[in-house]
Structure 1
Amino acid sequence: MIGYFGKLPGNADFISYRATSEDLQAFDECLQVGIRRLMEEERWEMHFDGIPRCSFLFRASPQHWLVGEMASSRDASGRRYPLMTFQRLPYQVQGDAFQAPWTLCEVNARCAGEIMQDAIYGHGQPTRFADALQALRPLNDGDLNLHQRLHARLLQELRLCDISEAMSKGYPEFIANAVLQRMTGLRQLCERAPMPPVVLPLPAEQALMRPVADIWTHWLTLIAPAPMSLLLLVHDFMRPRLLAFSQGNTSRVHRLLAGLAPRQERFDVLEPFDRFEPSLVQTALPDPGQSIGSCMARYAGYDDRT
């Protein structure tokens, strides 16, 4: 079932439905820590209010993802906290199979996002907000299996040059070979240390934004030394992006969302290396016409025969 938790401008305190699970309590704690870190900044309320709406994946247990939408909000007294909708999904990893959670949740995410924006900016009542959410169809095992197959097909059909072309409008600085070298550098870093918070660009084109988010998430799943704890798809108009956090790094989440995190607190694949990395000069670069599955096989250890 779809639940909700957070604050609405017309209410004096938190509103909630199906919000008693340990998963949500862990996510709430993660957000509270992030907000406290943000409060150390001057005019932190302005920065909080300016954070775009996000889709999220939060993994509090080995068995489940908490998936949903999140937007900056406040209560009637002006106390800041996000408003979020959520659903629990099983976390399944079988070899190189991948669930493609971002495209899986696309329809519900779009509808929930519109409902949330109406509630926050239209001063909607909690009952109307709740009724609108309950009209959405919860995801089931059939959805999971379908999108897993679609993702595997996408890896074989989508080419590196297709992603480069899709990125060109919002990210003219996107250069495929440079990004591949950065991803190789990230893989080498993950072999000797925990994964830092990672920032990855996404196409602004709606048809490709979530599929590319699934590709990046799959890629990170293959190279990260431990399962990721939190992923955020940031709906930032022409420059959407994916943020990925490992366990222990989520305290920086709101600083990164607000654009206040210094360079040493993140790994952005569009930024140059801090120092020259001789090993990456030897990296063989692929034909831009290669499929993404072939690129992942070379750079992330994906078995593209599956």
Structure 2
Amino acid sequence: MIGCFGKVPASADFVSLHGAAEEVCEFDAWLQGALSAMQHREDWRELFDRLPVCLFSYRARNGNWLLGGLISSQDFSARRYPFFIFQILKASEAQPLVNPFTLSELFCGQIKPLLHMAAQSESTSVLFERIKALRPLQAQDFELFRRVHDKFLVNFNLRDITRSLEDSYPEFVSNAALTRLQALQQPMQQKSSMAISLPLPAEQGLKNPTADLWINWLTRMKDAGTAPQISVLADDFMRPKLLCFASRSSNGLYRVLTGTGERLENYDVLAPFDAFDEHHRVHAFPEIDRPLYDVIDRFVDALDLKSV
């Protein structure tokens, strides 16, 4: 099922196409909680308006997934709220879903212009017709894009990822990022409500696959092998990033996106370490030139040995 929900300047109230679905109502409540948590600030509207388009992957309580994109918007009376276009995937079709952004890349490429049209006062009738014409994912797509994701993990290595991040994130150092990832094992297993912030390359062809790389990585770090409940790709032109939430209990999305949250709300793998300890034992991380799938395997195996 494909539909939309939210506020647009062309309407005095919420607009909805299949927005009464259980998964959509749940995602809407999560967004409302995140937006409410920022509204104590006098400048929250300006911060909200400046946010980039975000792509999302949301796992509902019934096990189904919601994939799509959202944009900061407002209704005819300038009351702020996002507008989002979504596609619902049944749990039976999508498990395991460790490649949501590769899987939905074509779909999200189609809806981005529609999101901008909505925020720029396009009529709801035109939007609805365009949305109704979108093609839902088919059974064969899941297998195809799993193979695409697996091929990416085989054909690329960590040096490729580091090189792709150089322009947008010159502060990215692979061993420092891996050290911070290593410290995430316990919060991931405990389903901490904090956001995990991970850098993405600005290069279009690598952005979505790298987002899925991080999701795969975090999934492998959890005992149950469960992907993050919510992943949001902030599609900033120069410094895109991925926010992952192990739990739906977080209401920090907009505070983290706007950089106004508390430090404990966001675990940024690029954040500087509190102190330099020259006596700290350096971890033996996998070689940077190994295929990505092998790096993840060795990284997770080392975590398992450490926890025994």
Length-normalised TM-score, structure 1: 0.91
CA–CA distance in 1 between the matches of 2:109 and 2:59? 21
Is 2:196–2:268's contact at 8 Å kept on the other side of the alignment?
A: yes
The number of aligned residues is 300
Give the direction of change, closer, same or farther, for the CA distance of 1:42–1:89 in structure 2 (3 Å limit). same
Percent sequence identity over aligned pairs: 35
Is 2:286–2:299's contact at 8 Å kept on the other side of the alignment?
A: no
CA–CA distance in 2 between the matches of 1:32 and 1:127? 25
Give the direction of change, closer, same or farther, for the CA distance of 1:64–1:285 in structure 2 (3 Å limit). same
SS of alignment partner, residue 290 of structure 2: coil
Provide the residue aligned with 2:119 in structure 1. 120
Q: Does 1:194 align with 2:192?
A: yes
Is 1:59–1:66's contact at 8 Å kept on the other side of the alignment?
A: yes
Is 1:167–1:203's contact at 8 Å kept on the other side of the alignment?
A: yes
Provide the residue aligned with 1:109 in structure 2. 108
Give the alignment's Cα RMSD to 1 decimal: 2.4
Give the letter aligned to residue 142 of structure 2. Answer: L
CA–CA distance in 2 between the matches of 1:74 and 1:280? 50
- Aligned positions of 1:32-181 closer than 5 A: 32-91=32-91, 99-121=98-120, 123-181=121-179
Q: Does 1:221 align with 2:219?
A: yes
CA–CA distance in 1 between the matches of 2:127 and 2:280? 51
CA–CA distance in 2 between the matches of 1:227 and 1:279? 35
Provide the residue aligned with 1:15 in structure 2. 15
SS of alignment partner, residue 214 of structure 2: helix
Is 1:158–1:291's contact at 8 Å kept on the other side of the alignment?
A: yes
Structure 1: unaligned runs, 5 residues or longer? none
Is 1:92–1:99's contact at 8 Å kept on the other side of the alignment?
A: no
For structure 1, which segment, 34-43 or 97-106, has the greater mean C-alpha deviation from structure 2 after superposition? Answer: 97-106
CA–CA distance in 2 between the matches of 1:93 and 1:118? 31
1:88 Cα deviation after fit: 0.9
1:257 Cα deviation after fit: 1.1
1:193 Cα deviation after fit: 6.7
CA–CA distance in 2 between the matches of 1:297 and 1:126? 48
For structure 1, which segment, 128-137 or 293-302, has the greater mean C-alpha deviation from structure 2 after superposition? Answer: 293-302
Give the letter aligned to residue 167 of structure 2. Answer: K
CA–CA distance in 1 between the matches of 2:278 and 2:57? 35
Provide the residue aligned with 2:305 in structure 1. none
SS of alignment partner, residue 142 of structure 1: helix
Give the direction of change, closer, same or farther, for the CA distance of 1:152–1:75 in structure 2 (3 Å limit). same
Q: Does 1:260 align with 2:260?
A: yes
CA–CA distance in 2 between the matches of 1:177 and 1:93? 36
CA–CA distance in 2 between the matches of 1:165 and 1:92? 37
Is 2:215–2:227's contact at 8 Å kept on the other side of the alignment?
A: no
Is 2:218–2:227's contact at 8 Å kept on the other side of the alignment?
A: no
Give the letter aligned to residue 38 of structure 2. Answer: L
SS of alignment partner, residue 16 of structure 1: strand
Structure 2: unaligned runs, 5 residues or longer? 303-308
Give the direction of change, closer, same or farther, for the CA distance of 1:279–1:146 in structure 2 (3 Å limit). farther
1:159 Cα deviation after fit: 0.6
CA–CA distance in 1 between the matches of 2:18 and 2:198? 32
Give the direction of change, closer, same or farther, for the CA distance of 1:242–1:131 in structure 2 (3 Å limit). same
For structure 1, which segment, 183-192 or 86-95, has the greater mean C-alpha deviation from structure 2 after superposition? Answer: 86-95
